Structure 1
Amino acid sequence: MVITDGVVRPAPDTFGGDEPDFDTWLSQQLQFNEPHLDNDGFCERVMAELPPAPAKRAERRANRYQYGAVVAASAIVCWQFPLEEVLTVMAAQSISLYSLVGIGIVSSMAAMTGGILAARRG
């Protein structure tokens, strides 16, 4: 096999061999059928021992707890953050370090919320 200009081509026959190209070999290997390997019902026993899938109700309850924890943590951060001082300084100056910090906090909260929502949907 030779790659030239991003295209795979068969190698030139330098040794005079009868070796098939890779695609032919691969298709032959994928079509090869091996005999069935009996496992004395091992797979069935393992599947029977697996716990049942959680109910949708339990998943919704877990989601509520997760969202509640995020809201509680966000409320604690907002409670401890000197929001009044930041708003006062932002009103006095058009662009300042505090306004950039505030924008950063708001955008990071939005990113975290979006990440949580995306993770729960996936």
Structure 2
Amino acid sequence: MDEGAAVSLALDAAQTLKGVSSDVAQIKEVSLEQLRILQDWALSHPAEVEQPAEEEAQALVLDEEPEGAEWVTTLQTTVDVPPEFFSNVTQFAWMQTVLLVFVLAVLLLNLGVNLWKCFSDKWRS
């Protein structure tokens, strides 16, 4: 990789990181706004809000995870792939496998021919 390509790659990475940081800042703002709305609603409707147990409340205050809590992260994307994409990928992988087997067979045949040429004269004499 030449110096210009490396600089271009570094600039692209920096721009991507700036974009990610702005996305994280937006998510943080939305989350804080939602938390404020939920807290306001909880204050205005105290009878409808379940009060957490003392241990859970303490863990929430200390930003600790309660015992036995299992977190699941779900990643969703808005990019849709065409329906034939996965069949095309499978076909491509199959073609690569067949090509690899063919190349391997040719290389083994070539090795066999070269070995025969090297040792056939010595075997005859």
For normalisation by structure 2, the TM-score amounts to 0.27
Pick 1 or 2: higher relative contact order, CA cutoff 8 A, min separation 6.
Answer: 1
Which structure carries more helix by proportion? 2
Which structure carries more strand by proportion? 1
For normalisation by structure 1, the TM-score amounts to 0.28
